[in-house]
Chains A and B, each alone.
Chain A
Amino acid sequence: MSQPYRINGGLIDREKVLSFTFNKQPFEGYQGDTLASALLANGQRLVGRSFKYHRPRGIFTAGSEEPNALVELRDGAYREANTRATTVELFDGLAAHSQNHRGPLSFDLMAVNDFLHPFLGAGFYYKTFMWPASFWEKVYEPIIRRSAGLGRLSGEADPDTYEKGFRHCDLLIIGGGPAGLAAARFAGRSGARVILVDEERLLGGRLNAETYAVDGEAGAAWAADCADELHALDNVEILTRATVAGVFDHGVYSVVERNTDHLPDAGGRARQTLWRVYAKSAILCAGAAERPIAFGNNDRPGVMLAGAVRAFANRWAVAPGRRVAVFTNNDDGWRCAEDLSAHGVEITAVIDSRDIAPLARIPGALMAMGERVVDTRGRKGVHTITLSNGGVIPADCLAVSGGWSPNVHLTCHHRGRPQWREDIAAFVPGQDLPPGMRVAGAAKGVMRLGDVLADGYCTAMETIETLGFTPPPGEAPRADNESAAVSAFWHVAESRARCWVDLQNDVTVKDITLAEREGFRSVEHLKRYTTLGMATDQGKTGNVLGLAVLAESQGKSIAETGVTIFRPPYTPVPIGAFAGKSRGKEFRPTRVTPSHQWAEEQGAVFVEVGMWLRAQYFPRAGETHWRQSVDREVRSVRGSVGVCDVTTLGKIDIQGRDAAAFLNRVYCNAFAKLPVGKARYGVMLREDGVVMDDGTTARLSKTHFVMTTTTANAVSVFRHMEFCRQCLWPSMDVHLISATEQWAQFAVAGPNARKLLQKVVDPAFDISNDSFPYMACGEMTICGGTPARLFRISFSGELAYEIAVPGRFGESLVRILMEAGAEFNVTPYGTEAVGVMRTEKGHAAGPELNGQTTARDLGLGRMVSKKKDSIGSLLSEREALNREDGFILMGFRPINRENKLSAGAHFIAKTAPATLEHDEGWLSSVAYSPELGHSIGLGFIARGAERIGETVLAVDLVRNQEIEVEIVPPVFVDPEGERLRV
């Protein structure tokens, strides 16, 4: 298991041999390798199949911009698709698989697509799979999805954990290459709080890939020294293996830190952390990415970017080929030939599109000046290349340099537009940078090392002074300025074979010119139509080339054509990192009531109401259906007494001299004269006259009220009341506080409710019917001194109370009530029984207060006081809300008492068809009434009040049901309300 392509040197640890597998075949590499460098060291050039045509593809770059070498990592639930082999750090036991092929990688059955390419051009699926329309979903799409694509998901829940965190700094430096290090060292010495982020394990950026010297020592060594100095500074935080994914408003940056991706096992640590960094200022030192030149069959394994070829040689001690040719349009490409030649690798030719004198002497290499590569040959990788002069050159690696594009992405996250600079043939950041951001080095278009270091240093000085820190003494790091001249040369026109622009999406020069001819002239349209620049690499290598081809076919300049907008994230972020800990049960808080544990002991079945868990019903031995439990609970309440936890209802404590006047404004009915010691039902409207919420409010003293809201609206009602208090009536002396969790509250309902409570309430307090009548309220003590509040209010229609104690006493209270009520056979009841009893009593609840109904619709129109100003009262008078044929809440019972009503059914006249034009209203709530022995319902029907006794159809098209129902008054049980007052 030798590594035949390994050469001398490099920043790898040859003492640490690592074993890994690719497609189950064992290989070896060294500590410090990436998966890409280890594969190349072993001569594995073919690593994947392309997206659409399933063409053989190899490693194209050496960094996060990689479009081609996408692999699946790890096995089972840990499998991760579409990872870039160039960014995967090798570890012992790593298992990688190639993706997007059927059969073995070397003989992909889907490669037939490549022969069909004349039919699969840009937008082929819009043109080819048009008819019949029904075939799209069932036939065409599944076929396309199977044959085109990327890696496979594990299909299992992600077993890793993820974290989120917050960091703050004066200066965020994005990128730890030469500019970033020069900036960070300067800023760090000034004492400013600095965070330096780099996507790699090792700081240094291109310094680790090149052979330049800085301040008289090797670039990589200088970077390591710099890193050591920064690590020693308390005011500098360094995040490596971390990517700034997005730039957000007001100096907020998202950073994804990969904690354990380089390890065989996360060992219980969070796999990744999504940091939210609050930065007063930032310097973008993201460097530049090399781009290719388009020529015939430029996608074969072995065709690579020149900067990547020498990165593999210099940093990872790997020769990507035995016979390397270089094709360039700029001076930088020559460096590749020089570096590899110095490593003893044979350079067969240097082809420069510019007709200039050779820039260097490369022993044994053909110098083809003013020539182009027009085609390549080789089955699973490049073997020979054909030049424009007809010459055929042997090469198993072709290093291509089409110039460098500054990584301007993060400067565009606030919709900044990059500007074209003709002299370096590249887009540079525009003037409209995100506030607080500066750009330095190659990301700004400063391309030569000496200039880059000085620019990082000067930009940091400027930033530090703006922040008010004193610049430290010292000088900018020095390096020679290499030559970096470039010509704008994009694609080889005389190539007859397909010339690839975007390797990840299989977009060719021809696809772009075709799209242009078909009218997709804007870059944004071109992108959507051809998929140029989409998917995991977002066109980091191919975009500018694609734009150049488009501009050329339109006869425009690249500056006129423009670029597509760059948006976050800069590189792919796992969904798990965005989710953090908010998964499964942790997705949102679970709120439990004080009686929760007791209810669990009783075997309660719980239901989620908002974030709360409430007891739905309490099944007993022998009960096999929830209806049996609920019917029993209802009978027990109506027959003797029951207890229900109502803590979840919103409670708002209202105090102040103007509290009564305030309530009079937020409720549509009168509250100003509510006597102390009394509670009242209140209806709250929105300003447009629609009902917002309802509940009871009790007056404990002249200046002290306690309001209850529905469980669902507790938060929004409180917010609304704070709005009224602060924004509408700022001089009112009134204060609000949410007390929902501070008080545990239980409904005690049924004919024996008073007898039960009299055993609990301290004797000093008289709660007889005379002293404590219906709608009375008061503060008292129970159980020998425990503070409590008692409200004689009823939702069930029975003699009923709600008793509240400070939250910490809630659990004891329910146990005491159950014990005291044993002689009355007290029964715990849940939300289902509450729902049955309120339906029997015609009380509106959630299904009726649906945000579309007015007080009039609910039969409460007369509650809306016209003698005062209150929210919503004026607009509730609008004509359309008061139509004579408007909906009114009514009761409904089936003509055939055996029939079971279903909520959501719509009312249709008996003779009319069940269509929208004949819709007369809907059934909103239904229940089985144990008291009446049949199904009952509440619903809204046009002109309901005049139609009592009429029969209509309740049509439920979803459940395919049609039931004759009679319109009745909405109160089914005790319509006079006598039971409330006994």
Chain B
Amino acid sequence: MLINHPLLGPRDVSEFVYLGDASLIDRPDWQAGDAGEQFHDYLYLRDNPAGAHRELWFHEQGDRSWLVVTRHTVTHEILKVELARDVALARGRDK
């Protein structure tokens, strides 16, 4: 597998570590009324699509960027690669 790193170009998969669903970016607010419920869902509930899947990869043997890779789970085609930080900012995460 090759992952087309947004800063470094195509890199071999052996340089990366996989984490899981990119929804891990959407960590709930600890002070929400139903925070317990939200954290439970955040931690344990995942979609398992046969198709496009947004997932987190860490360029551990490289520049240590966390990436959001959109990968087709059936064909393994990689449709999009973004810096996770950019995705997090776009999703309204801050400090």
Contact = CB atoms under 8 A, between A and B. Distances in A.
B43 to A, nearest CB: 5
Interface residues of A, number: 30
A732 B95 CA distance: 5
A729 B94 CA distance: 5
Given A719-B58, A874-B36, A687 B2 contact: no
Main secondary structure of the interface of B (DSSP, over half): mixed
Interface in A861-890: 869, 873-875, 877-878
Main secondary structure of the interface of A (DSSP, over half): mixed
Nearest to B29: A869
Contact of B88 (A249, A687, A727): A727
Interface string A713-732: 00100010011001111111
Most buried by A among B39, B60, B85, B95: B95
Contact of A722 (B1, B30, B64, B95): B64
A759 interface: no
B2 A727 contact: no
A243 to B, nearest CB: 22
Interface in B4-57: 12-13, 17, 19, 24-25, 27, 30-31, 35-36, 39-40, 42-43, 56
Interface in A657-673: 658, 661
A969 interface: no
A730 B91 CA distance: 11
Contact of B77 (A435, A687, A688, A722): A435
B78 interface: yes
Interface in A354-391: none
Question: Which one of B13, B17, B58 has the highest number of Cβ atoms from chain A below 10 Å of its Cβ?
Answer: B58
A875 B2 contact: no
B77 A727 contact: no
A661 B95 contact: yes
Interface in B54-77: 56, 58, 60, 64-66, 75-77
A250 B71 CA distance: 12
B12 to A, nearest CB: 8
Contacts of B76: 249-250
Interface residues of B, number: 36
Of the listed residues A250, A278, A722, A877, the one surrounded by the most CB atoms of chain B closer than 10 A to its CB is A250
A727 B35 contact: no
B79 interface: no
Contacts of B78: 250
Residue from the set A732, A874, A877 with the largest chain B CB neighbour count within 10 Å? A874
B95 A731 contact: yes
B84 A727 contact: yes
A446 to B, nearest CB: 27
A251 B1 CA distance: 8
A248 interface: yes
B66 A731 contact: no
B79 to A, nearest CB: 12
A77 to B, nearest CB: 31
B43 A719 contact: no
Given A250-B78, A719-B17, A729 B2 contact: no
Contacts of B36: 874-875, 877-878
Contacts of A878: 36
A276 B76 CA distance: 18
Nearest to B89: A730
A252 interface: yes
A877 B39 CA distance: 12
B66 A874 contact: no
A252 B10 CA distance: 12
A414 B43 CA distance: 32
Contact of A727 (B1, B17, B42, B66): B66
Contacts of A435: 75, 77
Interface of A: 248-252, 276, 278, 414, 435, 658, 661, 687-688, 715, 719, 722-723, 726-732, 869, 873-875, 877-878
14 contacts: A252-B1, A414-B75, A435-B75, A658-B95, A687-B43, A719-B60, A722-B66, A727-B24, A727-B56, A730-B85, A730-B88, A732-B95, A874-B36, A875-B43
Given A731-B93, A875-B36, 18 more contacts: A249-B2, A249-B13, A250-B1, A687-B42, A723-B24, A723-B58, A726-B66, A726-B83, A727-B88, A728-B27, A728-B93, A729-B95, A730-B89, A730-B93, A731-B94, A874-B30, A874-B39, A875-B39
Interface of B: 1-2, 12-13, 17, 19, 24-25, 27, 30-31, 35-36, 39-40, 42-43, 56, 58, 60, 64-66, 75-78, 83-85, 87-89, 93-95
